[in-house]
Chains A and B, each alone.
Chain A
């Protein structure tokens, strides 16, 4: 019997904390089982920076807070058959989206940067400037959920989702048997 070709997975962490990638490692020893079915392409886990070829599954952690996030997300949409958002940041902006509203300002981005680099009580910023090196990706006016930028096929809720939920979801997707989440397993925290 010929061996089935492995599904190719790419992952990226956009405006997230990398916690969802850590949560993927919580799959623990079942990773060995999973790795018989999949192989990784572009991912922080492999340190491959660009797509080597088209992938079956793209997994996105985090929303979009800067232009580089948008480009990466669009690149994933273009190069992946199925795009999965993982965690609350990808689904609804999450913690970074606090800057959209919590700043109580007409210019939330400016106020956020001034608080972070100039006015904050615990800041030691000898230049008194907001970083503006051309190498830094331009911040967006707001933090956007992934689905506001490209079409997402599936979303795994959680902050971070447990290793169990990630493993179950990926296994079922790979087997073509994913029919949504058990209500008892849905968590936003």
Chain B
């Protein structure tokens, strides 16, 4: 099958066979919000922030294959409200205190909240879980209060580093990401791993020690523009 077309919010875009809706949208310079998906990692479809309506059905754009003639709704008030609810629930599920977090300004969860206009308190209860901090490794710390269980570190470690430092444990609301060992110092994690790099952890959970505030607050990634602006810029070119 050769290239085919489908529409996102009324704009006709071209997709290659085997591309997901998100792959095709990225190539066309249309940003679909996402948290658990990251370039270079296999798609997971876990966070559902990339939910779009494809021919009226809610699907995750990162896993749903694009199809000829598909009508996709992406940036509509209804879908963005759903996405904002998801992001708000992530804020309420963990302990996300932006003012004290060294990832503030580089954090994709925070940036997604900015993009989705999350400014007011919500009616969801704060779960305020007790979660551990693992600072055992000489170069890396894990503050799991901030983990959103996106699993990007798991896929990066398994598929790119070939190590398997992280994995999911537990079920349902108790499912979380854990180091594959007694603590992080008992794994073969290294600060040079892709899984540990700043681009993989979307929040401030995986911390590389001693560089936290090298870039001051106010001059960071998402102080320069909304999350997704680099993808949208492709369209403007």
Give the complex CA separation of A104 and B131 in angstroms.
Answer: 7
Residues of B within 8 A of A (CB): 91, 95, 97-101, 104-105, 110, 113-115, 117-121, 126, 128-130, 132, 145, 217-218, 223, 225-226
Decide if B126 touches A98 in the complex (CB within 8 Å). no
Give the Cβ gap from A173 to chain B, nearest Cβ, in Å.
Answer: 14
Which of the residues B110, B119, B130 comes within 8 Å of A101, measured between beta carbons? B130
Contacts of A92 in B (CB 8 A): 91, 121, 126
Q: A104-B130, A152-B121 are in contact. List 16 more A-B contacts (CB 8 A).
A: A88-B98, A88-B99, A91-B119, A92-B91, A95-B100, A98-B100, A101-B95, A102-B145, A105-B130, A183-B115, A186-B113, A186-B119, A188-B98, A188-B114, A189-B104, A189-B218
Residues in A lying within 8 Å of B, measured CB to CB: 85, 88, 91-95, 97-98, 100-102, 104-105, 145-148, 152, 155, 157, 159, 180-181, 183-184, 186-189
* 13 sampled A-B residue pairs with Cβ under 8 A: A88-B99, A97-B97, A100-B126, A101-B130, A101-B145, A104-B132, A152-B121, A155-B121, A183-B114, A183-B226, A186-B114, A187-B223, A188-B99
Please report the C-alpha to C-alpha distance between residue A98 and residue B126 in the assembled complex, in whole angstroms.
12
Which residues of the other chain, B, contact A98 by a CB distance below 8 angstroms?
Answer: 95, 97, 100
Interface residue from B101, B121, B223 paired with A145 (Cβ < 8 Å): B121
Q: Which residue of B lies closest to A19 (CB)?
A: B99
Which residues of chain A are within 8 angstroms of B95 by Cβ–Cβ distance?
98, 101-102
Please tell me if the beta carbons of A184 and B128 are within 8 angstroms of each other in the complex: no
Q: Which residues of A contact B225 (CB under 8 A)?
A: 184
Nearest A-chain residue to B128, judged by Cβ: A101
Please tell me if the beta carbons of B217 and A181 are within 8 angstroms of each other in the complex: no
Q: Quick one: which of A93, A102, A157 contacts B119, CB cutoff 8 A?
A: A157
Residues in A neighbouring B118, C-beta threshold 8 A: 186
Selected from A104, A145, A188, the residue in CB contact (under 8 A) with B113 is A188
Shortest C-beta distance, B134 to chain A (Å), equals 13
Query: Closest A-chain residue to B98, C-beta based?
Result: A188
- CB neighbours of A88 from chain B (8 A): 97-99
**Contacts A95-B100, A102-B95, A152-B121: A187 and B128 contacting too (C-beta < 8 A)?**
no
Instruction: Pick the 10 closest A-B CB pairs, nearest first.
Output: A188-B98, A159-B99, A101-B128, A147-B121, A189-B104, A186-B114, A104-B130, A155-B120, A100-B128, A101-B95
Q: In the complex the two chains form, is B119's CB within 8 Å of A181's CB?
A: yes
A159 contact set on B, CB distance < 8 A: 98-99
- Residues on A with beta carbons closer than 8 Å to the beta carbon of B119: 91, 155, 157, 180-181, 186
A187-B121 in contact (CB<8A) = no
Please, how many angstroms separate the alpha-carbon atoms of A93 and B119 in the complex?
Answer: 14
Q: How long is the Cα–Cα vector from A78 to B222 in the complex, in angstroms?
A: 39
Q: Are B120 and A95 neighbours in the complex by a CB distance under 8 Å? A: no
| Measured CA separation A166–B107 after assembly (Å) | 24
Known: A95-B97, A152-B121. A189 touches B105 (CB 8 A): yes
Q: Check A91–B121 contact: CB distance below 8 A.
A: yes
Interchain CA distance A148-B126 in the complex, whole Å: 11
A166 to chain B, nearest CB (A): 14
Which of B100, B101, B104, B225 is packed against the most chain A CB atoms within 10 Å? B100
Most chain B C-beta atoms within 10 Å of own C-beta, residue among A94, A101, A102, A188: A188
